[in-house]
Amino acid sequence: MRTELYIDGKWVKPVGGGTCLVTNPATEETIQTIAAATAEDIDAAVKAARRAFDRDGWPKLTGAERAKYLRAIAEGIRARQSEIARLEVLDNGKPFSEAAWDVADAAGCFDFYAGLAEQLDNNPEEPIALADDRFTSKAVREAIGVAGAIIPWNYPLLMAAWKVAPALAAGCTVVLKPAELTSLTALELAAIADEAGLPPGVLNIVTGAGSVAGQAIIDHKGVDKLAFTGSGPVGSKIMAAAARDIKRVSLELGGKSPFVVFEDADIDQAVEWIMFGIFWNQGQVCSATSRVLVHEALYQRLLARLIEETGRIAIGNGLDEGVLLGPLVSKRQYEQVIAAIEAARNAGATVACGGIRPEGFDKGYFLRPTVLTDVPLDSDAWVEEIFGPVVCMRSFKTEEEAIELANSSRFGLAAAVMSKDDVRAERVAAAFRAGIVWINCSQPTFTEAPWGGYKESGIGRELGRWGLDNYLETKQITKYVTDKPWGWYIK
């Protein structure tokens, strides 16, 4: 297991000698000590990334050459899939089956962007038809430069892949800072990139506190682009830092996503997707459909079935066979979620199930999956992201009311609708003010499709070809093609 900083192709100790403790959220035991970078380490990482970009020619390689490294990284991840998934469970707490899924997805992400890197070679320039035939013009795409990528703890390796793979494919070099709570698999990614022979400085992975190492990345003048996934308040700081130097910026922030279920929906399917939409990854999912709106004709029956199925979810250490809900990621997160449930109760909501620590768990940040009803529309539980396995249920009478309730949020990351009437489902999908809309499901995520939010849920799109655009500039090259003098000053 690597615990140092990966800078300029070498494993180095942090200049200040600082460390962060890594805790297993299922046992509350410290399992590792990792390096805590300070501004000096970040400066070294950014300078290494600058050299790799400006001098050593990473962006000058063909897309096909860069793709070879990306495919080798994908292979390296796959070769260690089970070991990395185990590390993710120890670090984050998620069930092993989910971690294995994430790791496979991360490998797939590197393969996907290898394909897009190759396509950059086939289509390097776009001719532009000009009205003036004395000129020809073309647009070319070029890498932005050094990308500073900062990621959260809920999908540690996958979020690293979502940023590193498109950035490297585009020809950018990267300084990546994983969340201080969950850095172990990002360090494994550095080891895999190193084994894949990635040139020094192209990918630098630095661990440490957000307020120190993260802040040093966003403040560094040598960084051209900031790519961030995390909370809204930190997203605002990142945008403000980007504004100072006009850095490019993309933000993937939080949400309070609605799921509208109509009266013609199949109850079992609706219940399963509602559960997947809020209990997967312990509800620590930015796109979690945490506000569920069910037509009044179905509401009571669906609620009873949801409570019954929720009570059956196997809770435990993510390494144990059959577990579908692990602990929350940290003591702080656990306490915040418990406090949010308590505040909901005080605001008048009913805790229909869950809301407490499961029996038999005296250690670990375990919480029973929770269903809230009667949640006031102006309460924090309805309005703010809880980021835990807590769903707010509510009934509606008409489609108009459902759409209005769904869109009454300052967030707009995702939304879901379930109905057997395809015309209605498409109509509601079109009415949602959200960047990701699911029909008859909630949460399936595909590397090929754009991902990102409206409103306060973020700026820009990750994944698919949109993810590559995040790391590319567009250059216009215009040529004067006639021998005739221009004749403005000199007649």
List contacts with ligand NAD (CB under 6 A): 150-154, 177, 179-180, 210-211, 214-215, 218, 229-231, 234, 237, 252-254, 286, 385, 387, 413, 458
Give the C-alpha separation, 474 to 476, whole Å: 7
Task: Give the end-to-end CA distance of the chain in Å, rounded to a whole number.
Answer: 73
Minimum CB separation of residue 11 from ligand NAD in Å reads 20
Nearer to ligand NAD, 4 or 401 (CB): 4
DSSP structure class, residue 283:
G
328: tokens are 């929350």
Give the C-alpha separation, 23 to 30, whole Å: 4
Active-site pick, 286, 353, 392, 462:
286
Minimum CB separation of residue 56 from ligand NAD in Å reads 27
- Nearest-5° angle of CA 25, CA 107, CA 172? 100
Nearer to ligand NAD, 286 or 392 (CB): 286
Give the list of residues 6+ apart from residue 58 with CB closer than 8 angstroms, or none: 52, 66, 143, 168, 171, 173, 199, 202
Residue 308 burial (C-beta neighbours within 10 Å; 0-12, 13-18, 19+) = exposed
Nearer to ligand NAD, 177 or 225 (CB): 177
The sign of the CA dihedral 144, 148, 153, 156 is: positive
Nearer to ligand NAD, 71 or 163 (CB): 163
**Residue written as token pair 């996907």:** 112
Nearer to ligand NAD, 385 or 469 (CB): 385
Minimum CB separation of residue 401 from ligand NAD in Å reads 27
Active-site pick, 88, 98, 188, 252:
252
Minimum CB separation of residue 226 from ligand NAD in Å reads 9
Minimum CB separation of residue 182 from ligand NAD in Å reads 9
- Closest to 442 (Cα-Cα) out of 302, 259, 184: 259
Give the C-alpha separation, 78 to 35, whole Å: 26
Minimum CB separation of residue 450 from ligand NAD in Å reads 12
Nearer to ligand NAD, 208 or 364 (CB): 208
- Closest to 387 (Cα-Cα) out of 300, 282, 295: 282
Is 309 a known active-site residue? no
Is 252 a known active-site residue? yes
The shares of helix, strand and coil residues in the chain, as percent rounded to the nearest 5, are 40, 20, 35
Alpha carbon 343 to chain centroid, angstroms: 28
Instruction: State the Cα torsion 207-212-213-216 to the nearest 10°.
Output: 180
Catalytically active residues are 252, 286
